[in-house]
């Protein structure tokens, strides 16, 4: 925070006005659809949903230059997708017995311990249990709203923690987590190297989100591609000739086509703001 600026932690209600809520309705709906769709895809999880929804929201926004600078739209997109991903992950869990993320994997284990086998017949054989989960999800959302309303004044004060205290704690926990996964010090060096790489990318205005998505989705894409090729007996054509594949390919081509236009618009807006600053 620049010197001379005093942060105000006085928050009324939920921290936003009704006007701001109305402005973000379209963003919430779009991000919710993205989060639910990614939640349906097995093994991806909320982290990917956050990043994808943020990118989609930024691309669709009239003010993409505000993203990454505390703009409400980015926060709304990420959190809406994260919440929607939970409901979407329930679909493959109950319909196919395939966990959509880590949390539904834990639920799958708990259900099997109690003798419940998720699958196509679970709604018929254990309807009372499944509807109990739906009710629990609705109650959880209500309790989250209540907790946010009464706790937001306390939560926001976490922003007052100095960076020289907060950042070392995050760094130590990240390194400990990296070592704990495979019990190898080499992973800690990888964390440090990519941390330095991230700092350099941020300094030279290189987008970090595509790199993160590549690391997250790369192994998943490779594993599922091999699985699909085995099911298709080594033929690639069946993978691109069905309707869902065609839709996804068209959406990917559209995003590639719109990317240069979005970058040009962001550059024009940044140049306009720079000129206004010089004239002022």
Q: Write the pLDDT tens digit of every residue in 179-230.
A: 887 888 888 898 888 888 888 888 887 777 677 767 766 776 787 788 878 8
95 CA to centre of own chain: 23
Q: What percent of the chain has pLDDT over 70?
A: 81
Q: What is the pLDDT of residue 217?
A: 67
pLDDT score of 263 more than 80: no
The answer on pLDDT for 4 being more than 50 is no
Cβ–Cβ under 8 Å, residues 77 and 55? no
Cα gap 87→82, rounded to integer Å = 10
More confident residue, 146 or 12: 146
Domain parsing of the chain, residue ranges: 13-160
Q: How far is CA 248 from the centre of its chain?
A: 19
pLDDT mean over 5-17: 65
Produce one character per residue of 201-221: b if its CB has 16 or more CB atoms within 10 Å, e if not: eeeeeeeeeeeeeeebbeeee
The pTM (predicted TM-score) of the whole model is 0.61
> Higher model confidence: residue 120 or residue 29?
29
Instruction: Taking residues 76-103, report their average pLDDT.
Output: 78
Q: What is the pLDDT of residues 99-156, one digit of tens each?
A: 766 677 777 777 777 777 777 777 777 778 878 888 888 898 888 888 888 878 787 7
* Mean of the per-residue pLDDT values of the chain: 77
Q: Are 220 and 43 in contact (CB under 8 A)?
A: yes
Predicted confidence at residue 1, as pLDDT, reads 47
Q: How far is CA 228 from the centre of its chain?
A: 26
pLDDT over 50 at 232, yes or no: yes
Contact 236, 38 (CB under 8 A): no
Least confident of 2-6, 39-43, 82-86, 174-178: 2-6
Dihedral angle computed from the Cα positions of residues 185, 188, 193 and 199, in that order, rounded to the nearest 10 degrees: -170
Give the mean pLDDT of 7-20: 70
Nearby residues of 38 by Cβ (< 8 Å), 6 or more positions away: 44, 48, 49, 52, 81, 85, 88
């Amino acid at each position: 925070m620049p010197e001379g600026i005093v942060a105000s932690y006085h928050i009324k209600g939920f921290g936003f006005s009704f006007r701001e809520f109305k402005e973000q309705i379209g963003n919430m709906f779009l991000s919710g659809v993205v989060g639910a769709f990614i939640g349906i895809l097995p093994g991806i999880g909320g982290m990917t949903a956050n990043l994808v929804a943020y990118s989609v929201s930024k691309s669709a926004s009239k003010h993409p230059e505000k993203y990454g600078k505390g703009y409400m739209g980015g926060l709304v997109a990420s959190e809406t997708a994260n919440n929607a991903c939970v409901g979407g992950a329930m679909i493959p869990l109950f319909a196919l017995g395939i966990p959509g993320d880590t949390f539904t994997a834990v639920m799958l284990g708990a259900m099997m311990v109690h003798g419940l086998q998720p699958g196509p017949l679970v709604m018929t054989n254990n309807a009372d249990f499944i509807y109990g989960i739906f009710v629990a999800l609705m109650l959880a959302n209500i309790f989250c709203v209540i907790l946010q309303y009464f706790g937001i004044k306390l939560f926001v004060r976490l922003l007052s923690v100095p960076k020289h205290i907060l950042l070392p704690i995050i760094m130590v926990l990240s390194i400990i987590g990296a070592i704990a996964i495979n019990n190898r010090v080499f992973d800690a060096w990888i964390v440090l190297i990519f941390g330095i790489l991230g700092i350099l990318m941020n300094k030279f205005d290189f987008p970090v989100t595509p790199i993160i998505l590549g690391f997250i989705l790369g192994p998943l894409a490779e594993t599922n591609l091999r699985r699909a090729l085995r099911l298709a007996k080594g033929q690639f054509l069946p993978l691109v000739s069905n309707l869902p594949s065609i839709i996804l390919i068209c959406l990917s081509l559209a995003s590639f086509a719109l990317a240069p236009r979005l970058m040009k618009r962001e550059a024009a807006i940044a140049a306009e703001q720079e000129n206004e600053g010089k004239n002022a």
